[in-house]
Structure 1
Amino acid sequence: MLLSGEQIKQLRNARRISQVDLSRATGLSASLISSYEAGTRNVTQEASDKIAIAFNGITPINPAERTQTADLDDDKTLVKMNGIPLMPAEKALLKALAKAMLDQRK
């Protein structure tokens, strides 16, 4: 799926992150992101993929891989790191860390 500049802006604003923050998360320049959002440049598939990955908070080992998202609050969700399933205590720590990070955004 190719994101439009308007979609990028809406997603970024909904998550309360700046263009600079998105730039750091994607490796794209903030001015390029600004150009996409303003509609002065067309979003490439590669840029769209990087932005989508950043918004999902997932960085695959191989960027060509397609990723899936899951809710950490779902006890039935299996969480893996480098292909190794996390133990319940490890998942609880990850969940606590994610909660603390989200609380910082408020």
Structure 2
Amino acid sequence: MPNKARQSKALIKAQARIQGMKNNGASVDLGNGISLHNYVAKTEALCQKVESYNALIQTLEQTRQDIAQAEQDLNDFSEHILLGVAAVYGKQSKQYESAGGKRKQTGGWVDRN
């Protein structure tokens, strides 16, 4: 199951508040580091982290798909190898069995009397 990109409610709320303060032309500085400038900086820092996280998720999803394709390719190749061994040596051969094939049971009548 692929991971979903992350959204941050805190980031969305902060961006809306910043936009509202900028629209009012307010230059908020309440002292002790509580200012619009610092609010914007913290918001941008979180935004970068969310974007980085989402990029990693996208990379992981692509890698997952690449692995699935490589597994399918390997399974197909394994099947071709086994079929090739069967064609050259037969399905009753030790070579076929050592390549991972299963010998057919020799069919014969069993006298139970």
TM-score by length of 2: 0.25
Larger Rg: 2
Which one has more relative contact order, counting CA pairs under 8 Å at least 6 apart?
A: 1
